[in-house]
Structures are given as C-alpha cells and as structure tokens.
Amino acid sequence: MAKKVLRIDMSKLEATYENVPEKWSRWAGRALTSAIVFDEVDPTVHPLGPHNKLVIAPGWVTGSPAAPSSGRTSFGAKSPLTGGIKESNAGGLSGQKIAKLGLAAIILEGQPEKGKWYTLVVTNEGVKFEDASGLLGKGMYEIDELMWEQYPDTAVIGIGPAGEMKLSNAGISVNDMENKPGRYAGRGGLGAVMGARGVKAMVVDDTGGPGVEIVDKDLFKQGRKKLTEAIQEHDLTKKDGGLNSFGTAILINILNEAGGLPTRNFSAGQFEGAAMISGERIAEVVEERGGEGMTGHGCHPGCIIKCSNIYPGEDGSAMVSCVEYETAWALGANCGIDDLDYVAKMTYECNDAGIDTIESGNTLAIAMEGGVIEFGDAEGALRLLEEVKQGTPMGRIIGQGVEATAKAFGVHRVPTVKHQSMPAYEPRAVKGIGVTYATTPMGADHTAGYTIAPEIAGVSGKLDPLSDEGKAELSLTFQAATAFIDSTGYCLFIAFPILDIAKGWAGMAESVAGVTGMNITGDDVIPLGKEILKMERLFNERAGFTAADDRPPEFMRYEQLPPHNVVWTITDDQLDHVFAWVHDGNGAGD
C-alpha cells in the first residue's frame, strides 16, 4: 500500500489523505519536511501567521521491523526563532506510529477561529478534532497523563504553555515509553508554529494501521544485520560503551579538560564545577540513590544504543528524563551552576513549559550577564524558567530566547548564528564545529555536521583535516551526510559506528534501499544530502539570508578564550566557500 500524506487544515477543520506526489516520493524525515516547506511555504511569510505550515515526517526506515535505533520523527517549518527553514527531530513514540499508519507525512496548515484550540486524534479511521480549551495552561507532564487516561499507549505530540504563547523558544514534545515529555523537537521554536495552528496536542494511535512496506526484504535484513553489528561492536555505542554507561553527558569532563566547554556565557572554556554536572556524576547519583534512576535508558522502542537516563530525586523517585550533555552544559556550566539536582529541576521545568534546554540555558546566561541574576544563582535561574510557564512579562522575554533577552538587557556578547544560540562546543577551541555552526541552514546547531569516512569525504590525499582550510572543506560533506541520516529515521548516533566500521555505512544505505526500493548505495549519501541542503539554503536565501548570516558572533573574533587564549581564525572566504556550489549551475546532486 502506497504511503499517504495527511493534510490537516485547521481553518476548515478538515483532514484529507493525498497520494505522495512524484516530487516528494524519494524523500522522508528531514528531506521530506524540508521539501514540503520548500514547495508550500513562501519564505517571506510570518512564521506565526496563517501561511506557515508544520510538517511532521518519520524517516525512511522508521516503523520497519527491528531496524535498530530508528524511531526519530522530523518536524519542519519556517522557524520563528531563526526566520529560516528548520528541521528538528525527536525520539519518543511518534515516528513509528505515524509510519505504521502508512503516512509519509502530516501537514498542519491554516489557523482556526481565534481563541479556539484543538486536540487532534489521528487513527487508522481518520482525524478527530476535539476541543482542547480545558487543556490550556497545562504543562506537558499533565498533558501526557491526561491523554493516556483517554487514549492509552498512544504517541502524544504536544506543546506546553510556551507554545500556546507562541514564544520563539517553544519546542514540540513527544512522549517517551514511560509517557513522559522528555523527547523534544526543541530547537527553532517549532512549538510556536504548532501553537499558531491552534493545536495543543496530537494523539497518534497506529492500531489497525497497514504498517511499513518493505520492498526488498532480503536487502533490508542484510543492511539491518550489518548496521546492528556495527552499533554493537563500537566502543561508543555498544552495551556498556560510553553512551550506554554515562549518556551524552560523558562529554562534559572531556570538553572541560580540552578547554572547549563554554562557561558563563562563552567567557571561558573550562568550568571549575564540571565534574559535578558530568555524566560520571549522573552515574554516581543513580548508583547512590537507587530507586527509579537509571542510565542506559532508551528514548524510543527498538533503540539499542540507549544513551538516555532517568535522573532520580533524593528519595530515588524519577525526577526527570533526560539530563543529557547539552542540557547539563546549558543549565550548568554556561550558567556557572554546579548543582546537578538544580540542573535536573530546571530540565523538568523546561520539559513542562515546553522550551528547548539549549536555548533556555543560553538565555539564562544572557540574563545573568545582563544583571538580572548572578552567575551561579540556581534558585534564581529556576525561578526565571517558572516565569516562562506562568507567562509573566519577564517569562515571555526569557521564552523568546537569547537574542530577544540580550536586547532587553543590553548584552552584546551574544553567542548566536542565524538567531539561534550555540550548543556546548566552543567554536574558538573546537574550530571544526564552528564552521558548521556558521554555515548550516539551521542556525548554530551541533547536530548539523557529523563526521563521515575520510574516503567518502574526499580527505585522502586531498585535504588536511588538521588545517583551517580543511575544516571548511569538510563541513559541507559532514552536513550533507547528516542531512541524509536525518532523513533515514535512524538516530544520528549511528554515525559513530558507521564512520569507523565499514559494514555499518553499507548497512545504513542497504536498509534504506531495502525499505524504499530506491537504488541507494553508500556512494549516494552525499549527493542526496546535498540536494536536501540545497533546498534549505535556497529557502533561506529567499527569506532574506545572505553571506553575512554565515558568520560567528563578533565577540569571538576579538575576545580570547581561556585557557588556550584563542580567537576565531576561520576566514570569511573559507565560510563562503562551503555553500558556493549551490549556485554553480551544476545542479543539486553534484
């Protein structure tokens, strides 16, 4: 059975099922959300107005039987935070259930009558529009519980109060296997786009759905086997490996030792309290407190990496999932806070209000630099996040993110690119990621450029990856590979084993080819990724972005970062070279 596109018109409260048009038939996940936004959203529209659309798409292999770690859901729209195209993806329950309903994508468009809010119930029978006025103002923890009381074991996609207020830092929550709202398509304010469609929650029940068709079962099984073996063999992703044992926050102490952990609003590369908010400390707390806390927690069914955690309170009861690297850094080191319990409380508050933890931590640091509270004031930081949920004037400023808050409080050291704040790798110290921060269509994003094998990236004999010039050259291939992986539905962390273990790379491509029937090999990954990037870059250009938007923040050019006392050294010419090919006339797939 061919997949369908489910189009939900919130102006007419109508749902229609459409055949997937030829132009979108090759795409899934990020590729599909970007293609639909590129084709159907005028880049000049207001992100919160009636003409923006929210597109939700599972990846190629999402929902297929036992494809390892493949439960990602992509969300795409014009971003209220960046003003450009945005794809943000999440784990949780939604991707597999949408895919098993036979849907390639769900398009939310239009706006209902002012003041009307709805819960959408998506089943194999169609879409029900339920009045959501009784849910307004509620945080995501309560929303998930209420939805499961009525619709148990469903996927719940929802927004917290921040999305209702259409704040630029509002994310979209997906419930996890414990029905908690820890899985966020957090970046770029897509929760505000969902709120602007008048949708508080979307329940997805795949009961009776047709499932995911696999065109070439033998090829799929072959690819799945290779990829599974690669994941299980690699030190980073295997059971009891780094991610499984300590979660992504294992990087806190490493980046701190390297002098690349942004501290107190990117004013230093080392934080004296790093060990207290690290993955090692999280594992110690879990072991000391016992109870419901755990490391090695999966964020979606079928994950075999399991890098998530459940952070326990003092009594051992589950406090929040998940305290990950970016979260521990943003709400910890970047705010000068070394109390892990407060970091966990703030994470809970972000999850409940429905805001991105990276942008939130950066915003708190800006508020600290602007004198609203002191660096290290954990109680004050928690209070500011609570104000977001309450919708106070201060909370609404904080909920708009870093740049709005910097303007409100006269801060000029603003760590953003394309209006989105930087994640947890200091680009003056970790130069390679800085190139990707500067040039990705998504705004500063640490997940936009994952390393691929040197022979595919063209390194062997051509580029010196240790030089500044090499980093600019490499960033494009890294970004293209990532755009492809974001479209598969696989967790981006499969990038670790598929870089180092050849059969993993082949397994990824073969499993996608097996599900879709497309003739994809490992050699097709970069050209397909470049097609996706080209759509995204062109959308941004038409929205008004220029080369001046592919630049690091000014202060990083002149302010030396301790302990290495380094400044940004990549030239503008090198940055401009990354996407020069978009207009070279050789087509997207060159």
* Inter-CA distances, 589 with 29, 233, 458, 496, Å: 19, 33, 16, 25
Q: How far apart are CA 225 and CA 37, in angstroms?
A: 34
**CB of residue 157 to another protein, shortest distance in Å:** 29
The least CB distance from residue 261 to another protein, in Å, is: 11
Nearest to 117 by CA among 182, 153, 163, 84: 163
Residue 275 CB, nearest distance to another protein (Å)? Answer: 5
One-letter amino acid at 375 equals F
Complex with another protein: residue 213 or 287, whichever CB lies closer: 287
CB of 255 to another protein, least distance (A): 7
Using the minimum distance from each CB to another protein, give the nearer residue, 116 or 577: 577
- The DSSP result for 114-144, as a single string, is TT--EEEEEETTEEEEEE-GGGTT--HHHHH
Contacts of 242 (CB under 8 A, 6+ apart): 235, 236, 250
Question: Smallest gap, in angstroms, from Cβ of residue 564 to another protein?
Answer: 6
Question: By C-beta, is 121 or 243 nearer to another protein?
Answer: 243
Task: Name which of 45 and 502 has its Cβ closer to another protein.
Answer: 502
Write down the least CB distance from residue 296 to another protein, Å: 12
Judged by CB, which is closer to another protein: 199, or 501?
A: 501
Q: What angle do CA 28, 34, 36 make, to 5 degrees?
A: 85
Residue (280 or 559) nearer to another protein, CB: 280
18 and 7 Cβ atoms separated by less than 8 Å: yes
What is the amino acid identity at position 16? T
118 or 496: whose CB is closer to another protein?
496
* Rounded least distance, CB 3 to another protein, Å: 33
How many residues are listed for the chain in this entry?
A: 590
Instruction: Count other Cβ atoms within 10 Å, centred on residue 529.
Output: 26
Distance in angstroms (rounded) separating the CA atoms of residues 173 and 138: 13
Q: Specify whether the CB–CB gap between 282 and 248 falls below 8 A.
A: no
Q: Among residues 27 and 568, whose Cβ is nearest to another protein?
A: 568
* Strand, coil or helix: 179: coil
| CB closer to another protein out of 473 and 510 | 473
Structural Rg of the chain based on CA atoms = 22
Task: Note the helical H segments in 134-266.
Answer: 140-150, 161-164, 190-196, 217-233, 242-246, 251-258
Shortest distance in whole angstroms from residue 468 CB to another protein: 8
Closest separation in Å from C-beta 568 to another protein: 11
Who's near 117: CB < 8 A, 6+ residues apart? 131, 132, 133, 135, 136, 164, 198, 199, 200
Q: CA–CA distance from 79 to each of 85, 171, 178, 237 (Å)? A: 6, 11, 29, 32
Rank residues 500 and 541 by Cβ distance to another protein and give the closer one: 500
- Taking the least distance from each CB to another protein, the nearer of 279 and 336 is 279
Shortest reach from residue 431's CB to another protein, in Å: 3
The number of helices, as runs of H, and strands, as runs of E, in the chain is: 23, 17
List residues near another protein by CB under 8 A.
233-236, 240-243, 245-246, 250-251, 253-255, 257-260, 269-270, 275, 278, 280-281, 283-284, 287, 425, 429-434, 436, 446, 449-451, 453-455, 457, 459-460, 465-466, 468, 471, 474, 478, 495-496, 499-501, 563-564
Least spacing, CB of residue 371 vs another protein, in Å: 30
